[in-house]
Structure 1
Amino acid sequence: MPTYTITELSREFDITARAIRFYEDQGLLSPSREGAGGRNRVYTPRDRTRLKLTLRGKRLGLSLSEIKSLVDMYESPKDTSAQMNRFLGVLAQHRETLEQQREDIEMSLSEITAHEDECRRLLAAIANGKGEPAAAD
């Protein structure tokens, strides 16, 4: 069975060794230890897969606890129905959060547009020689 060093995984997934150690601290990875005093981490294909799934979950915007919960399900006896229902629940919750954020962003962008329009109007008034316009409310 192939094994991987922390350097190999960090290069493959373009992340720092520190990030991999952090995921280990969070219980997402559990490499074995070799060498003097167990200083060298040895990662199995299972660890590599868990790291890949962790990074995919991060790209989806899931929290580490959500990722751990989902990844751990694949270690338990296979009940794909329960796993898929749990994953759908997490995705639905995440979708709701993102849709609220999108609504908030659209509102902020609308306010920015209104401020930009007002600034342009005031600048045009100054350029047309009308002097300093009164401050807008």
Structure 2
Amino acid sequence: MSLTYSISDLSRELDITTRAIRFYEEQGLLAPQRRGQERIYSARDKVTLKLILRGKRIGFSLAECKELISLYDPAGGNHRQLTSMLEKIAERRGQLQQQLLDIQQMQLELDTAEERCQQALAQGNPGAQPLEVP
């Protein structure tokens, strides 16, 4: 007997809204069986949801999650899926590194603007000259 879940079971277990689960179904990531109007989710659907949630936490787009899920092949050792995942991790890490550099640059610019404002206020005549914007 295979283990199945209702939408409310998955919602509770994975701490996700039923609306989000239905959205992933609409996007073609899940294909539950139906019993009348009731959705019946398999253990594979639960694993798919876990992968989607993990992917979102590390910044993958839904399209990237879908691509990784489509590469699932336990018979082949999931080599293609794992290789693709490593490539996406490296790409995401590069994006985060660039964002970190951008944030650090912005912090320097904020420090400079703050210092100029403080100097203008300390001179007692803040309206005499416009602030220069580099």
TM-score, structure 1 as length reference: 0.83
Cα distance change, pair 81–133 in 1 and its aligned pair in 2 (3 A)? same
Measured on the aligned residues, the alpha-carbon RMSD in Å equals 1.9
> Of the candidates 125, 132, 136, which is equivalent to residue 131 of structure 2?
136
Higher mean C-alpha displacement, 6-15 vs 16-25: 6-15
Aligned residues: 131
2:107 maps to 1:109:
yes
2:116 is matched with which residue?
A: 118
8 Å contact kept, 1:125–1:133: no
Q: Which runs of 4+ in 1 moved over 6 A?
A: none
Deviation at 1:136, TM superposition (A): 2.3
Alignment of 1:3-18 (within 5 A): 3-18=4-19
Deviation at 1:70, TM superposition (A): 1.1
Deviation at 1:100, TM superposition (A): 1.5
Distance 2:45 2:127 in 1: 66
The residue identity in structure 2 corresponding to 1:12 is E
Alignment of 1:1-137 (within 5 A): 1-35=2-36, 39-75=37-73, 77-126=75-124, 132-137=127-132
The residue identity in structure 2 corresponding to 1:135 is P
Runs (5+) with no aligned partner, structure 1: none
The residue identity in structure 1 corresponding to 2:35 is E
